[in-house]
Amino acid sequence: MAGALTSSALADKDFAVEVVDNTIEVSVGFDGSTIEVFGDRQNLNADVVIMVEGPHKDITIWKKERVIGTWVNRYYMTFNDMPIYYNYASTIALEGKMLEGGAKDTLVSKRIGHEALFASLRTKKSSSVKDENVYKQALMEQKRQQGVYFDKPAKVNFISDHLFRVTFEVPPSAQTGDYKIHSLLIENGRVTREKIDALKVKQVGLNASIVSMAEEHSIIYAIIVIFLALFCGWFASIVKVRP
């Protein structure tokens, strides 16, 4: 029940959310995974919104243009502090005009929904960039191809009228780091309950040892890699001698 202990609101019977596994272990054979969230709400008319975001990075989109006959990365737009993974599930549509009032403001402030996310980001761009939407689209498209941003929100599946479950897809090329799962309950147009769970995507086993050595003892790591390469080269020469 580690998820319940990290919540920012007291766990209560009106709204409970549990992340099945707070760690995604990435080993050599990692081929993608899922984030499973179970929950329960007492008010059958309430809406549930759950958002998952990965670690933040500054992401830049460059637009190529021809300069003296050569295609060069000419114009850019940088989105600061952007989650490298972003997905959400909701029982009501967030994009568009479905939500009003207090709930909408809260959701926007928490960056739930793509419109809200982009509206909240600080950006930097080349002075001649006029159409920011083109860059946003390009960014979304690249992120979708990586499998870390999604066309459509995930589904909130109801197992009974109270109990629900959401499955978020994590692609094979997921990046490591601290992910956050925000869960909200919306009643009568206002957000009444809120919970944040932490999830860690980390490399384990051989991968973890490699990364820690490469980061902390880079020169020794490099020397080991060199000797490995030398060994393979030497071994190949031995094998070649045989007719």
Partner 1 sequence: MHIYLPIAEMSIPVESVFILGGFVGFVSGIFGVGGGFLTTPLLIFMGVPSAIAVGTQGCQLIAAGLSGVIAYWRRSQVDFMIATIMLTGGFIGTIIGVFFFQFIRYIGQIDLIISLLYIVFLGTIGSMMLFESLISSVKKKTMREEFNRMKSPTLISKLPYKMRFPRSKLYVSAFVPGGIGMLSGFLVSTMGVGGGFLLVPAMIYILGMPPLLVAGTSLLQIIYTSAFSTIMHAYINGSVDVLLAVFLILGGVIGAQIGVRASRRITGAKARVILALLVLGVCVRLGMQLFIIPSEPFVMVEK
For residue 210, what are its two tokens?
């490699």
Among 92, 98, 172, 189, binds partner 1 (CB under 8 A): 172
24 binds partner 1 (CB under 8 A): no
On the 0-12 / 13-18 / 19+ scale of CB atoms within 10 A, 82 is buried
216 binds partner 1 (CB under 8 A): no
Residue carrying structure tokens 């009643």? 187
The answer to whether 63 and 138 have CB atoms below 8 angstroms apart is yes
Contacts of 238 (CB under 8 A, 6+ apart): none
Residue carrying structure tokens 């809406």? 47
3-state SS class at 196: strand
Which region, judged by CB under 8 A, interacts with partner 1, from 9-17, 149-157, 170-178, 185-193? 170-178
Among 6, 23, 27, 157, binds partner 1 (CB under 8 A): 27
Long-range contacts of 160-163 (CB under 8 A, 24+ apart): 161/44, 162/40, 162/41, 162/42, 162/44, 163/38, 163/39, 163/40
What's the closest the beta carbon of residue 92 comes to partner 1, in angstroms? 31
60 binds partner 1 (CB under 8 A): yes
214 binds partner 1 (CB under 8 A): yes
72 binds partner 1 (CB under 8 A): yes
- Per-residue contact track with partner 1, 218 to 237, x per CB under 8 A? xx-xxxxxx-xxx-xxxxxx
121 binds partner 1 (CB under 8 A): no
**44 vs 164: CA distance, rounded Å:** 11
- Per-residue contact track with partner 1, 123 to 152, x per CB under 8 A? ------------x--xx-xxx---------
3-state SS class at 175: coil
Task: Return the number of the residue (198 or 208) whose C-beta is nearest partner 1.
Answer: 208
73 binds partner 1 (CB under 8 A): yes
List of residues contacting partner 1 (CB under 8 A): 26-32, 57-64, 69-73, 76, 84, 135, 138-139, 141-143, 171-173, 175-176, 203, 206-208, 210-211, 214-215, 218-219, 221-226, 228-230, 232-237, 239-240
